A and B are shown apart, each in its own frame.
Chain A
Amino acid sequence: MDEKVAIIEALVFASEAPLTADKITEILPGTDRKGTASLLEELIREYEQRGGGIFLAEVAGGFQFRTRTEMAPWIRKLKAARPAMLSPAAMETLAVIAYRQPLVKSEIDRIRGVDVSGALKGLLEKKLVRIVGRKDVPGKPIIYGTTRKFLEVFNLKDLSELPTLRELKDLQTAS
């Protein structure tokens, strides 16, 4: 293994949160962004070829070792915990925020056709959603958006990786 690849492996392993390519570039001597990117690719490939229990995931703008989904049943036994789960109401609310952010609560209420206070509170507590600011209209309503943790939990590189809302597009072209 290339020594630089080995260093990156160690850095990612030791990092608490997903490690950004920028941070790696900063630490590694004599590399630029492009160099780091190709070293990371090499490391990702190595883990793929190895076919072990973990892989190098690109999430929330950084890199992190994660267990492969096939390993989930065993790890659940290790952790002896119920898998994390969001209620359908929370998932719907989260989807609206993810796709329409930044937006105010009344807009989420309108789309879901119900008062989303409870679901929104839960999402804020789980740090999947955050307050991004206040809208400059009378009443100064709070604007919400998703967090970095949302990307981490849903295994997304960034928001552009969200699948597109097909039906909405069709609707807009039709009308």
Chain B
Amino acid sequence: MSYEIKLDIFEGPLDLLLYLIRKNEIDITNIPIALITAQYLEYLEMMRSLNLDLAGEYLLLAATLVHIKSKMLLPPVEGELEEEEGEDPRAELVQQLLEYQAFKEAALSLDRRPLLDRDLFTRGAPEEALSAEEGGEPEALIEVGVFELVAAFRRIVAGLERPEEMEIDAEKISLADRINEILVRLEEEKQLTFEELIGERRERRRIIYTFLAILELMKLRMVRAYQSGPFGAIRIFPAVEEE
């Protein structure tokens, strides 16, 4: 049985790029394109290895980045020295990023407004479609984003000492089992760190299934992830049922 996990919490390639720019504390108008391209491709590779559904847009931006990088390496073509030299191959992308960033911030400021049926209510209004939404698009309330989770996952995988030896009789774990196991443990302990959930046996397979199980549970809104600060331990809590 194969699981395909689609991450609706990913807001797209521009979001990933902005994340990398922020992470590296880079000036958005002066992006070191080689560095960012390398990191971007690394993330894509990781997502692919996790079997995450990579939308074509991610690949398109990868192609754009590589194209810009190659353009910046080439000496300017003769004859376009005068006017064309001032044209930065990154300009269009920067424009697009700034525009996206502005809307991303606008979205956040919209969300911070007092919202009807969340922060304020009208007189005995019937439940509106907004709250009565069932089975529609999954709407994630995520305190720790998927990027942080992916970063935590990488750290743990990087900490594996040696490549595992092939074991034909390896313990068979399924994603469903792992999900149930996590839910049971969370019910008992109320909160667990990502590392505690993985446990002592640091096998690649186990780590990956734990990671996928948490992503799935976050998507189903059965758990929530919080982080105390950058690089802090990620804590997983059972989502409190408000029914």
Contact = CB atoms under 8 A, between A and B. Distances in A.
Given A64-B122, A72-B118, A115-B57, A125 B11 contact: no
Interface string A62-86: 0011111101100110011111111
A29 interface: no
By size class, the interface of chain B is 35 or more
A81 B125 CA distance: 13
B242 interface: yes
Interface in B92-125: 95-96, 98-111, 113-123
Nearest to A88: B11
Nearest to A17: B122
A10 interface: no
B12 A85 contact: no
Interface in B50-88: 55, 57, 61
B119 A114 contact: no
Contacts of B167: none
By size class, the interface of chain A is 35 or more
Interface of B: 8-9, 11-15, 55, 57, 61, 95-96, 98-111, 113-123, 127-131, 133, 136-141, 242-243
Given A67-B122, A68-B120, A90-B137, 11 more contacts: A65-B122, A92-B103, A113-B57, A113-B100, A114-B12, A122-B137, A126-B133, A154-B115, A165-B102, A168-B98, A168-B99
19 contacts: A72-B119, A81-B131, A83-B115, A84-B118, A85-B141, A87-B139, A89-B8, A91-B111, A95-B104, A111-B100, A112-B103, A114-B57, A115-B55, A153-B130, A155-B116, A155-B120, A165-B102, A165-B103, A166-B102
